[in-house]
Structure 1
Amino acid sequence: MSAIPTDGGVLRESLLPSAEKREKLRKTRMFRDALSRYGVGSGGIGVIFALALIFLYLFYETLPLLKPVSVEQAYSYALPVDETASPTLHLTVDRFEEIGGRFAESGAITFFQASTGRILSSVRVPLPEGVTITGFGRSETRKSLFVYGLSDGSVLPLKVDYDLTYPAGVRVITPRLSYPLGEQPIRVGERENDDEAVDYSALTIVEGRGGYVVAAGTREGEIAMALFSTSTSMLSGTVEIRRQDFRLPALGKPVRQLLVNESLRNLFAIDEDGVLHHFDIVNRGNPVLVETVALTRPGVDVRVAEFLVGSRSLIVGGSDGSLTQWMLVREDGGNVQRLALIREFRRHDAAITFIEPEHSRKGFIAGDESGTVGLHYATSSVTLKFLKVVDAPVERLAISAINSMALVEGRGTASLQVLRIDNPHPQTSLSGLWGKVWYEGRDGPAYIWQSSSADDAFESKLSLVPLSIGTLKAALFAMLLSTPLAIAGAIYTAYFMSAPMRKLVKPSIELMEALPTVILGFLAGIWLAPYIENNLPILLIGLVIFPLGILAWGFAWSRMPASLRNSVAGGWEAAMLIPVVIVLGWIAVTLSPWAELAFFDGSMRQWLTSVGITYDQRNALIVGLAMGFAVIPTIFSIAEDAVFNVPKHLTQGSLALGATPWQTVVGVVLLTASPGIFSAVMIGFGRAVGETMIVLMASGNSPIVNFSIFEGMRTLAANIAVELPETAVGSTHFRVLFLSALVLLAFTFVLNTAAEVVRQRLRKRYASL
């Protein structure tokens, strides 16, 4: 082996590592290289695996939304009847699906075991001597409130309650009749002869905010109403009932059906021709006929009509098997409400005979003359299932409060059919989540997110469009602020700034990323939003004065004597702008009140309102400023590294060929660094899309669909953070929140994939430089 020369002479061969030692060192290096290679590879695979697990978990929680509806005929048993075996007026099922109830024309109410048909008890409505039942009406199914019409012209309201007891820890349900207006029959309307017998052709009873309303219609077309209000004495506990009777204009035709909504503002009377007469009954002493509406097309009879839960919309079944939904809609934003046809459902093959609404959702079950039962849902405007149940027309239907059991009675049959229903998420159709939906109480179809309300009959509105638009809106305004500032700052820092100053600026900006976003959101919502609201002209003045002022300073600096300019070391010119920016900011703040007086009549906020621009204190502008401040360090750091790492021989070659530094930046540096700059922008955009706390605290959290800079928004991430802790596990709301998380994950995945494709193409294109 040849000797190795050193300063001290010749290094002897004995001082070199032995062959065995060199082999050991080689193996150590190979082990370390392999460890690094496989460690980095395992980490990458672990990240991919973790993302896949997140995706699978979100999909697992969302999957029940895609589960098809199931309606099965479970079993049947003999119709539970009393000794008279009189026809059925009505069927009920309690909320625990343990006890069914059958109301008979004889006045008997038979309670039976819903699973077997075994009779548990039978009670009889207390009727005066010699009086028979001639009519029957009911309120909403969830109220369990009924009214009997009697042959002497009186009516008897009653209610079915289910008492719960737990002897020995076992639930026992005991049905009980109660009489909210007393056990004695009452008369409705003021008549000259109170003993006159009246043949009521239509009856209804409603428990509303103002008390109870009982309405009765006759075959002569007369309609009478009585309003009962009750009050309980705090001392004696006695119940005092006050009543007010009044009559409506006669229809001139027999009244087939009466419906009163629970607000006690509107009465709908359907005559024998199927024409609906809409009365405004707000003024009890002077009811007004608002309109008459043909509910079906010519040649089609109205067979049945029922309110959906909440009595805000009406489902109408026709003799041609049609099912339509009608709703009160304000005309041109006025005070007058008129019925409007808002949707149609899939038609049955035979005439509709019975409609039974669900207790707590906007769904309903309908039966027809062919013995087929159809399950429909109003909000999503879908027909979920058809099932042939009996070989006779469907006479009566009952559905439980938890919507998983239904009882079906066929006309002339002596048995009850029991249906098992699995329909947990009927409103989550594609059109319901992503399309415009005409919700109850609205003037037209719209994209709305409103998941909860204090009203038990509330129709949940779960459109993902406002949240998706809000996510894009927040990210867009944040990027409009952060992208130009971060990229311009990165270029200047990496290429023009002196090394000592760069060592101060770059770590300082990167340190901004360590600021907790909750602090930024707090400052934006508590301090920045009110300040901007009270000083709006600052924004307009700043947009003009800062660019022009900086350009003016740059031009003035270039015209200063060379001796003065040379006194500032190269790359430190940016420090000269610090006092300039401070002065320009002071000028903008000082001019703000003067500009507000001169151009906006003293209040720019009020001026915006007067020209039709809505201004929310916490809006997209505030979110853009706060989130843009949070995103700047991410974009700056990655873009600065990309620009700084452009090979020096490229920039030096460009300068050597006579190009100016600015020409070198535009023609060489930006092109070479474009893949890194693009990656910085995309990573910043992803950061803005997933931001939660700033949007939560500074946006107002309004799920609206627009891109107005002066209005707020609600993003997918912020909505999940707000509502997930409050929702019931396994509910539709819970599943839709997980679906929104899946949408957010898919959106960022697609965005990052597209960004990587573009980055690779840019890298390939400019690799030859």
Structure 2
Amino acid sequence: MVIIVAYPVLIMSGPSTSNSYKSSVHLRLRLLRDRLARWLIGAGGVSVIIAILLIFIYLLYVVMPLLKSAEMQHEATYPLPDGNEAVYLSMEEQAEIGAVIDRKGHVRFLSTSDGHEISQVQLPVPDAAEVAGFSAARPNSGIVALGFSNGQALVVKLNYQVSFPNDKRVITPEVQYPLGKTPVDVNTDRASLDKLAIQQDESFTIVAWTQGGMLSVVRASPEASLMEEDAGWTFERSSGYTDIEDIVSLLVDPSQRELYLVSRDGTLAWFDISDLSQARLHEQIRVTAKNTRVVSAGFLAGGNSIMVASDDGRISQWFQVRDEEGVSHLQQIRSFDNEVSTRALVPESSRKGFLVAGEDGSVSIYHATAGQRLIRKTVSDAPVRLLAVSPRADALWALNDNNQLEFWRINNPHPEVSWGALWGKVWYEGYDQPEYIWQSSAADNDFEPKFSLTPLAFGTLKAAFYAMLFAIPLSILGAVFTAYFMAPKMRQMVKPTIEIMEALPTVILGFLAGLWLAPLVETHLPGLFAMLLLMPLLVLATAWLWHCLPLRVTGRISTGWEAALLIPVILGAGYLSLAVSPLLEQWLFGGDMPAWLQHEMGIGFDQRNSLVVGMAMGFAVIPTIFSIAEDAIFSVPRHLTSGSLALGATSWQTLVRVVLLTASPGIFSGVMMGVGRAVGETMIVLMATGNTPVMDLSIFQGMRTLSANIAVEMPESEVASTHYRILFLAALVLFLFTFVFNTGAELIRQRLRNKYSSL
């Protein structure tokens, strides 16, 4: 028989239960903190990515208008009043009023929006004479000249007065007579002035050609007077005959020193008229293909390039190029195919663009520097006979053979931008060959902007290359010695000292490099190169002597402290090299090494050059590479090095075959961080180099980087201008370069990590 007795058990909470509860609460809090920390870290990472994306999106937003194509929009069509044949069209700056001049000497100012007549002026045409020739000076001058059948010419200026009565803009057109209302005698034989050219600056130059082949030149210069502001004009005349027939265009350059004759058969004659008493033919060439004829010719803005349109639809650009002997010749630079024969060619006022009207009623817009056609649009059912473009190049006015005026709006804010203009060699006006040039502004309004990013990208890579050439060996070898060979106490002093160098402002480093280091390098250039040879030799010699010393001497220095003995050796080598520099320069280079490099080697020397930038920027990059590389080497597990040494490997073999391989991902990361710092550095490059955007690998030449160029020119650029947007494009290029470079570096680092993680 089994008897089961049940005893009541009283369960009471004691100390063990309380501790268990507290542990549970502590665990939950810790999990909550971990979860919160994980969320905050994740949010921070996502925020960084979002910030980078926003930067990229904003840069792209500013740059995108550069990629938009030109646009044209039709505004109005209306008949030209009166049936007289028009010889000239023009528009004022706002493109609200246009002027039409006909062969009877009538000037009509019309509203471009609807064609209604605002005012009319009858020019003083001589009795029994009619308008035979016509010419306009630079488009923004408003100066035009009418050549009459009696050998005289009248110079007028189309002027537009702007006023704001009741805060409303009112444009009042008027006709002025700079040389007076009396026509100027140009041809003494009273022959009809069939072709005419005029140019104006302080003086006026009028050139006329008659059917007999006679060229007449008149130059009107203002008379000097202290009492009267407008004292009159002094006229200088010259004439002669030319065998060039059937002239299409007479062109006088803005300096009034050169005259160009373009004939129907494609002959271009270049005359020097700087001295009218000794005018001479400089050069005569052919500018069209065989069996083609010239239909139009004119200057681009600035008067340096001549555009010649032929009846096969081809338009060629010509300007002066110097040969090896320094003699200037006209040379074809580029050509454009308009596909149909040209009826009119009109340049833009302030850009290197031009408009071409074709036989089919189309108008094409080109830009010479970009070397491309921007847009082609049919603006009329009939062929266009006369064409005008507004000074801002935002509107065109076309007169067709049916005497209809067509008014179109143009949206073409950035015609200078093309892939070739940004990254390829471009043959700019005034240069003897195609080159990579960055020159965004000049004192002359007729300047041709040069927006090649290639020299800036080259300068960025060049600066980073010389900086890393200086920084990588010193930082990595220093990190190896500090982490692997140096005594712990010495490491505790050396590592923080080098890392604190990173806190030095780069503007201070650039200031010292530009004002102290650059002159020092120039005056002690031989000593600097002697230092590169002398210092390693002295260090090796010191190490050999230390090895030869008896143990009782070397044993007094604790292991890892031997590097301290090299400090006076290095300082002494540096001082000795600089001290003997004047003697070396006098002995080997005739007392002036920079001049010797220029004359004997053909190597130019700039005081603020790549050598200075490399040393200064390398000094700024060393702490970054050293700190990351030293941590990576020091973090190599001790059991790896101990095992290698136990198996009989030397310390050097262990370092090379175990430590460096294991630490290679960290070392590589440090190098990439240093490269990124060097590529994006601004102030050191800005202050320590000449900021000249040249493409020269020489260590004695300067450069301009993308970041320095942005810092220099962004404050001076006009918001939303082509210059402004290209600077943002440079920033986008720099952004993408660093992003792609760092992404590639991270992929390589991960491969190194996976490859050597099993050691």
Contact 2:264–2:293 (8 Å) recurs in 1: no
Give the alignment of 1:359-758 within 5 angstroms. Answer: 359-411=349-401, 413-611=402-600, 612-758=602-748
Cα displacement (A) at 1:392: 2.3
Cα displacement (A) at 1:330: 1.1
Structure 2 counterpart SS, 1:239: coil
Contact 2:248–2:294 (8 Å) recurs in 1: no
Structure 2 counterpart SS, 1:383: strand
Contact 1:222–1:252 (8 Å) recurs in 2: no
Instruction: Determine whether 1:207 maps to 2:204.
Output: no
Structure 1 counterpart SS, 2:324: helix
Paired position in structure 2 for 1:159: 157
Instruction: Determine whether 1:357 maps to 2:347.
Output: yes
Q: CA distance change for structure 1 residues 507 and 739 in 2, over 3 Å: closer, same or farther?
A: same
Pick one of 133, 137, 140 that aligns with 1:139: 137
Paired position in structure 2 for 1:226: 218
Structure 2 counterpart SS, 1:444: coil
Pick one of 223, 226, 233 that aligns with 1:241: 233
Structure 2 counterpart SS, 1:285: helix
Q: CA distance change for structure 1 residues 487 and 172 in 2, over 3 Å: closer, same or farther?
A: same
Distance 2:427 2:241 in 1: 32
Unmatched runs of 5 consecutive residues or more in structure 2: 1-12
Cα displacement (A) at 1:444: 1.1
Structure 2 counterpart SS, 1:130: coil
Distance 1:397 1:92 in 2: 8
Structure 2 counterpart SS, 1:200: coil
Count residues with an aligned counterpart.
Answer: 746
Paired position in structure 2 for 1:5: none
Paired position in structure 2 for 1:39: 40
Contact 2:665–2:753 (8 Å) recurs in 1: yes
Question: Which whole-Å deviations, capped at 9, do the CAs of 1:499-535 have from their partners, x for residues lacking one?
Answer: 1111111110011000000011011111111121122
Paired position in structure 2 for 1:308: 300
Distance 2:516 2:355 in 1: 54
Counterpart of 1:118, as a letter, is H
Paired position in structure 2 for 1:216: 208
TM-score (norm 1): 0.95
Cα displacement (A) at 1:134: 1.9
Contact 1:370–1:392 (8 Å) recurs in 2: yes
Distance 2:524 2:123 in 1: 72
Structure 2 counterpart SS, 1:116: coil
Q: CA distance change for structure 1 residues 403 and 333 in 2, over 3 Å: closer, same or farther?
A: farther
TM-score (norm 2): 0.96
Contact 1:327–1:341 (8 Å) recurs in 2: yes
Counterpart of 2:742, as a letter, is N
- 425-434 vs 230-239, which deviates more? 230-239
Cα displacement (A) at 1:347: 2.5
Cα displacement (A) at 1:680: 0.4
Structure 2 counterpart SS, 1:332: coil
Structure 2 counterpart SS, 1:327: strand
Question: Which whole-Å deviations, capped at 9, do the CAs of 1:289-323 have from their partners, x for residues lacking one?
Answer: 12212111011100000100001001111111111
Pick one of 169, 172, 175 that aligns with 1:171: 169
Paired position in structure 1 for 2:337: 346
Distance 1:137 1:559 in 2: 94
Structure 2 counterpart SS, 1:18: helix
Distance 1:657 1:123 in 2: 107
Structure 2 counterpart SS, 1:718: helix
- 644-653 vs 532-541, which deviates more? 532-541
Cα displacement (A) at 1:91: 0.5
Contact 1:248–1:287 (8 Å) recurs in 2: no
Contact 2:389–2:396 (8 Å) recurs in 1: yes
Cα displacement (A) at 1:605: 1.0
Counterpart of 1:388, as a letter, is T
Q: CA distance change for structure 1 residues 548 and 221 in 2, over 3 Å: closer, same or farther?
A: same
Structure 1 counterpart SS, 2:546: helix
Instruction: Determine whether 1:188 maps to 2:195.
Output: no
Counterpart of 1:574, as a letter, is A
Structure 2 counterpart SS, 1:203: strand
Contact 2:249–2:298 (8 Å) recurs in 1: no
Paired position in structure 2 for 1:70: 71
Paired position in structure 1 for 2:749: 759
Distance 1:141 1:117 in 2: 22
Paired position in structure 2 for 1:20: 21
Distance 1:154 1:133 in 2: 10
Cα displacement (A) at 1:283: 3.3
Cα displacement (A) at 1:130: 3.1
Paired position in structure 1 for 2:113: 115
Cα displacement (A) at 1:438: 0.7
Structure 1 counterpart SS, 2:24: helix
Distance 1:248 1:271 in 2: 17
Question: Which whole-Å deviations, capped at 9, do the CAs of 1:195-231 have from their partners, x for residues lacking one?
Answer: x3211121011014x6221111111111111222225
Counterpart of 1:139, as a letter, is A
Distance 1:445 1:272 in 2: 30
Contact 2:153–2:184 (8 Å) recurs in 1: yes
Cα displacement (A) at 1:371: 1.3
Contact 1:135–1:149 (8 Å) recurs in 2: yes
Q: CA distance change for structure 1 residues 212 and 17 in 2, over 3 Å: closer, same or farther?
A: farther
RMSD across aligned C-alpha pairs, in angstroms? 1.5
Paired position in structure 2 for 1:197: 190
Distance 2:535 2:176 in 1: 77
Cα displacement (A) at 1:20: 2.4
Distance 1:238 1:217 in 2: 30
Question: Which whole-Å deviations, capped at 9, do the CAs of 1:599-649 have from their partners, x for residues lacking one?
Answer: 101110110110211111111111101000000000000000000000010
Distance 2:488 2:442 in 1: 60
- 690-699 vs 66-75, which deviates more? 66-75
Q: CA distance change for structure 1 residues 17 and 495 in 2, over 3 Å: closer, same or farther?
A: farther
Distance 1:312 1:696 in 2: 34
Contact 2:672–2:742 (8 Å) recurs in 1: yes
Cα displacement (A) at 1:398: 0.6
Contact 2:152–2:193 (8 Å) recurs in 1: no
Distance 2:593 2:18 in 1: 82
Counterpart of 1:378, as a letter, is A
Cα displacement (A) at 1:333: 5.4
- 89-98 vs 283-292, which deviates more? 283-292
Q: CA distance change for structure 1 residues 183 and 698 in 2, over 3 Å: closer, same or farther?
A: same
Contact 2:528–2:578 (8 Å) recurs in 1: no
Cα displacement (A) at 1:239: 2.9
Counterpart of 2:79, as a letter, is A
Distance 1:58 1:654 in 2: 53
Cα displacement (A) at 1:243: 2.5
Unmatched runs of 5 consecutive residues or more in structure 1: 1-11
Paired position in structure 2 for 1:149: 147
Distance 2:403 2:178 in 1: 33
Cα displacement (A) at 1:236: 2.8
Distance 1:461 1:536 in 2: 35
- 247-256 vs 726-735, which deviates more? 247-256
Question: Which whole-Å deviations, capped at 9, do the CAs of 1:261-308 have from their partners, x for residues lacking one?
Answer: 112222101234231111122333212212212111011100000100
Distance 1:251 1:218 in 2: 12
Paired position in structure 2 for 1:8: none
